Every structure is written in structure tokens, then in C-alpha cells.
Chains A and B, each alone.
Chain A
């Protein structure tokens, strides 16, 4: 006889999810289903028939954990949909912004898992370095992109303004001073993870999957996306339990017909020769990637010409072609796509990374609700009652 254990909502991720496990007589979990029950907000529909500039402003509200990747993916998709080539300075400012944000997000992640991995005598040190790192990298995002959360100055066509030479020097100085702290933090986290994995007896194969890796760039992203390889299935098709299929709110994106792994470990393996799979390897990869982002941020800051224009003039009417903005966010590859016809957004879709990552945050992954075609009533309203 199998027993069913349901944890709902689960609390260790952004948004609301449900974990359903089937357990056999010996108490062994034979099957687990982990799915989003976060209510649909419908941001992709809200941006339709509005000016292209509206999309980055609304779509950054998809999530407060990854506002920078969503803004960038949205702006990049619109840039392509409008046929804009953004100036070099604008691109460098965007790169520095994303690199700084990704360091910040990894640091937050370390704070969230600290209670699992960091022993009591090192806890204050870990929290201190998380705070110090975040203070500095968020300062970079503030200065370049206007706000650390929901950036106001990432715009269609580039960035609202370039930074001044004074600001460039100040940012380079602050980031340079941060390096020893960041290196010590990465070592601390990696050591803590390794030690507690041994102490807790975490199985080496925990979380090991052999799915294909999805990452389009070592650090930033690209506009290159092969739509033919991409497909989406509804949760009803994906889960073999009809009840769960009905309750799940995220569509399941597939790449060449398979579900894929994305996120820091996937990026680090694909582009940086990282070895190791599973949950523990994911923590190590995330920590190691902080330094890659640190170098990328300083490199972009260094290359910025403060005298150059950071934003292109453009024709807002649109090309009518599908534009892609693919950004490597902290939790993986984030793809926004848009089409603009006669100056209005005619199509918008966001395929977000968290449905394919180890560490889902679910607000952005939530895409499905079912409406009766006849009377327009919402058939899936049970999902909002958590």
C-alpha cells in the first residue's frame, strides 16, 4: 500500500509550491511531485497593446528576487523586436549591472541556506560577509541602473544615462576593495557546505540528474534562440496524476523535447569546465560563480567610456518580427520574447528559468490558468486558495 504525504505550501522558496510524495510500506519515497501553486498574475497579457517601453517596467515586477534579469530580458527582447542596436556603453552598463546583481543574488542564497550548512561559531562571520558583499554590489546596481530592486534606468535602447567618470572611479574603487572579502566568503561557504555534507551524511548522488544543460552564455546572455527546439507542455500532460496536473500553475518548457538543467552549475559545467553534479555541487558552483561575475563586473566597469552615449535613438513602431532577450540570471536562463506591430506590443512571452532549476522561485514560473471559452469563468480558481 502506498501512502501519500503532502506538504503545502512549501516554504523554502520564493512563491508557493506543493510537494506531494508517495511513500511505500517501508517508508521509502517512491515518487515526488513538486509543483507551483502560485496564483497567476498575467503580466505577459498586461503588456499587450501597450507601448514597447511598458514591458520592461511591468515585467520586472514578475519577481523581486530577479528583477534585474527580468528587466534586462524584457529590454533586450524589445531592442530586438524594434531592430535596435544598443550603443557599446549601454551594453557594458547592462553587463556590469547583471554581474553585480548575480553576486547579490548568490549572497542572498547563501544567507537562506546558512542555517542548513553554516555551523553556529561561523554564523556571524557568514552573515557579516553576506551583508558586506550585498551592500557593495547593490551599490553598483543602484548607481548604474537607478535602483537595486526594480531598476528604473534599464531602458529600451540602452540605459537612461551613462555614469560620470567620478562614479566610474568610485565603483571600480569599491569593487576592488571588496575582493578579499568576497574570496574569503566563497571559501567559507564552500568549506561549510563540504563539512556539513559529510557530517549530515548527504548522499553523493542526491539531486544528480543527467538532463541536457541549458545555458546560452557564460555570464550575460544573447539574442540567439532557436524556437524550433523549444516546446511547452501543460501540467496536465506532464504529471501522470490528473489531480496534480489540474493544480499545477506552471507550464513545462522543453528543449528538443526534454526537460533541461539550468542555473549556476549548468553554466559552470558548460563554459568553465566545472565538474560535479547534484545538490552539493550546485552550492559549490554558485559560490565559485560569484568570482566569475566579480571579474566580469570589474571588466565591464573598466571598459565603460563615460563620455559615450548609453542609449540609442529608435523607431518605436516595431519590425513585426519576434525579438528575443535571453539573460543568464542567478537561477538560470531567462528568456523573454516580444513582437511589436504599429508601436504596440502584439505578443509577449516569458520562459523563466526557475521551472528548470534546483532552486525554484515560483512567482515567475506561474503561467497557467484555465478559463472556460464559453462563459469566461475561471476553472482553476482553487489554486489561489493556499
Chain B
């Protein structure tokens, strides 16, 4: 199954305009975190914080809806989010913690929860929200796109960053400059090319834009914990949903991309294995 185990797939979006104004798509991550914090389901969360001018995402501990909304939106370079988990459960004193993570980070977190490697850390994580991820760029790659490929003096000149319509976009002085996605190949993290997980298969709830119309997100509810939070947020009127069958392009596109990542990266794994390079275990 290219999408992993899930109980329910729906198209959804936040009903809160404050969230929709700043969110990437349907604002599902922010809506779930705000609801969980306001209801005391979690005391706070570890997220990829909004970057400064240099676009470097900073792992951040948030403990209020306002802080969640301030951190909303996609980041285009890796945020070492799990590095802030210890801070969350120690100096921040949180006993119930949410984490927003990419598929690889979710794998690491689930593994840390399963093995006794950490003491009084991962057992305090009770909500894992996974975000769809095809690949991710190191900061040096983003710098290269800006300076060598799009003619900026520095990445800090960019006021906006986006990926869409087959291009990687940077905005400078109100003007959008696009770089074809195929031009970015080879600049992603090397690990992304052997990763088999597009849809954060080990999260409690996974979400991302693919499969839903603009302004909406496709949500995969995977676990009992994820289901109870998501359903409660829907019942409270904070999230509106539509059946996936009613929206275009729908689940087939998500399945196609997830399977595409597995197929392409399986080939890359085999290529590396033939060279004698060690490759990570598939879960």
C-alpha cells in the first residue's frame, strides 16, 4: 500500500481565517495543534519555526495558538526539529507534546519511542503530525539556487519561497523568478533519494496538499490517537471536510506520487547496494 496504514482519508481545511491567511494549504497542521493545545490534549509542540531572512528553519517549541500560527507555513530546508524535543520536555517542562515532522523524522521518533534509548523524553510525545515530503534541500542548495541559478546576490534578498507549477520560485522586489524542478535534481539531500516514505506512514495524522484542490489539504488519519484529535477538531467546527471521492485530483494522484517515490528510490537503493554502499533499513 503506497499510503501506509490509515483509517480514513479526507480532504479538509481549517475554518479559521487567521490560520488560512498564513498556512501553506488547508492549515490542517496549525488547526490540529491549536485545537490540541487549547483543549489540553498537548501542552505544547515542537515545530519548524519561521525562518529569519536567511531562510534557515529553527526548531521551535510552541505552547499557545498564537505561537503555532506564527510558525505556520512550509519550510524548504531541513529543520532538525527533533533536536528541540529535549528542550520541550526539560526546560519547557512539557508532559504532553505534539511533534510536526517529515516522514524520516517520524520514523526516527517512532523508533526512539519503541526502544529505551531516551529517558522521559519520547514517551511524552502523544501526537505526531506527519507532513508529505518528496525531498528536502540543504541550506547550501537553496543558496545555490538563489545565487548561481537565479542571479540573486544572496538568498536573503528573497521575500518569498514556493514550489508549484513545476518550478521552484523565489520572489525578489515583487518579481517571481522560477527554476525548473528538474534543475534542482542532484541538490536534494542524498538520503532523500533512498527514502521510501512520501506520506509519513508512521504518523498519527499525515497531511499535505497533494490530492486536494487549492487551499485544501489531504488528510490521512492513521491511529486511534490521531483519529480522536482529528474527529474532535472537526466536531468542534475548527476543520471542515469533504470526502476524497468528491475532490479532484483525489487519492489516485497521492497514491501515484507515493508509489513513484518508492519505485524510483528502490532503484536508487539497488544501484547503491551494488556499489557496496550501506543503505538504510526500510520500515
The answer to whether A142 has its CB under 8 Å from any CB of chain B is: yes
B92 within 8 Å of A by Cβ? Answer: yes
CB pair A142–B120 under 8 Å, yes or no, is yes
From A164-172, A233-241, A346-354, give the one contacting chain B: A164-172
- How many B residues have CB within 8 A of the partner chain? 10
Q: Assess whether B119 is in contact with A166, with CB atoms less than 8 Å apart.
A: no
Known contacts A142-B120, A144-B91; is A166 also within 8 Å of B86 by CB?
no
Residue of A nearest to B92 (CB): A164
Against A, the Cβ 8 Å flags (1 = close, 0 = not) of B64-105 are: 000000000000000000000011001111000000000000
Q: A164: which B residues are within 8 A, CB to CB?
A: 63, 91-93
Contact partners of B43 in chain A: CB under 8 A: 166
A310 (CB) vs chain B CBs: closest residue: B91
CB distance from A100 to the nearest CB of B (A): 14
Q: Mark A122-159, 1 if CB is under 8 A from B, else 0.
A: 00000000000000000000111011100011000000
Q: Is the CB of B93 within 8 A of A153?
A: no
CB contact under 8 A between A161 and B93, given known A142-B120, A146-B86 = no
In the complex the two chains form, what is the Cα distance from A147 to B121 in whole Å? 10
- Judge whether B90 and A142 touch: CB under 8 Å: yes
CB distance from B114 to the nearest CB of A (A): 21
Which partner residue on chain A sits nearest B119 by CB separation?
Answer: A147
Please, what's the 1-or-0 string for B262-281, where 1 marks a CB less than 8 Å from any CB in chain A?
A: 00000000000000000000
In the complex, how many angstroms separate the beta carbon of A128 from the nearest chain B beta carbon? 21
Measured CA separation A161–B119 after assembly (Å): 19
B120 and A161 form a contact (CB under 8 A): no
Q: Is the CB of B91 within 8 A of A143?
A: yes
Q: Which residues of A contact B93 (CB under 8 A)?
A: 143, 163-164, 166-167, 170-171
Which of A142, A147, A161, A171 interacts with B87 by CB under 8 Å? A161
| Nearest chain B CB to A154 CB, angstrom units | 12
A153 CA / B92 CA spacing, docked (Å) = 13
CB distance from B82 to the nearest CB of A (A): 15
Q: In the bound complex, what is the Cα–Cα distance between A153 and B86 (angstroms)? A: 11
Query: How distant is B84 from chain A, measured CB to nearest CB, in Å?
Result: 11
Question: Chain B residue with minimal CB distance to A147?
Answer: B119
In the bound complex, residues from chain B placing their C-beta under 8 Å from that of A161 are: 87, 91
Kindly list chain A residues whose C-beta atoms are within 8 Å of the C-beta of B91.
143-144, 153, 160-164, 167
Query: Which chain B residues lie closer than 8 Å to A146 at the CB level?
Result: 86, 90
Minimum CB–CB distance from A71 to chain B (whole Å) comes to 15
- Most chain A C-beta atoms within 10 Å of own C-beta, residue among B86, B93, B120: B93
- Nearest neighbor of B94 in chain A, beta-carbon distance: A166
* Shortest beta-carbon distance from A127 to chain B in Å: 22
Per-position binary interface string of chain B over residues 28-58, scored 1 when its CB falls under 8 Å from any chain A CB and 0 otherwise: 0000000000000001000000000000000
Chain A residues lying within 8 Å of B120, measured Cβ to Cβ, are 142
Closest Cβ neighbor of A159 among chain B residues: B91
Assembly CA distance A52 to B70 (angstroms): 38
Note all chain B residues with C-beta closer than 8 A to A142.
90, 120
Asked whether, in the complex, the Cβ of A167 is within 8 Å of the Cβ of B92, the reply is: yes
Q: Which residues of B have CB within 8 Å of A160?
A: 91
Q: Which residue of A lies closest to B61 (CB)?
A: A164
Complex formed: what's the CA distance from A168 to B102 in Å? 32
Residues of B within 8 A of A171 (CB): 93
User: How many Å lie between the Cα of A161 and that of B90 in the bound state?
Assistant: 10
B119 surroundings in chain A (CB, below 8 A): 147-148
Chain A residues, Cβ within 8 Å of B86: 146, 152
Assembled-state Cα–Cα distance A251/B43 (Å): 51
Bound CA span A153–B90, Å? 10
Tell me the smallest distance from the CB of B116 to a CB of chain A, in Å: 14
- Let me know if A166 and B63 touch, CB within 8 A: yes
How far in angstroms is the closest Cβ of chain A from B94?
8
In the complex, residue of chain B having the shortest beta-carbon distance to the beta carbon of A152:
B86
Bound together, the chains give a CA A166 to CA B89 distance in angstroms of 12
8 Å CB interface, A156-212 against B: 160-164, 166-167, 170-171
Proximity string of chain B (101-137) to chain A, C-beta cutoff 8 Å, 1 when within and 0 when not: 0000000000000000001100000000000000000
Chain A's nearest CB lies how many Å from the CB of B112? 15
Measured in the bound complex, the distance between the Cα atoms of B93 and A146 in whole Å is 11
Closest 9 interchain pairs by CB?
A167-B93, A161-B91, A163-B91, A170-B93, A164-B92, A143-B90, A166-B93, A146-B90, A143-B93
- 26 A-B interface contacts by CB (under 8 A): A142-B90, A143-B90, A143-B91, A143-B93, A144-B90, A146-B86, A146-B90, A147-B119, A148-B119, A152-B86, A153-B90, A161-B87, A161-B91, A162-B91, A163-B91, A163-B92, A163-B93, A164-B91, A166-B43, A166-B92, A166-B93, A167-B91, A167-B92, A167-B93, A170-B93, A171-B93
**Chain A residues with a Cβ under 8 A of chain B:** 142-144, 146-148, 152-153, 160-164, 166-167, 170-171
Given A142-B120, A153-B90, 8 other A-B residues pairs in contact with their CB atoms under 8 A:
A143-B93, A144-B91, A148-B119, A161-B87, A161-B91, A164-B63, A167-B91, A171-B93
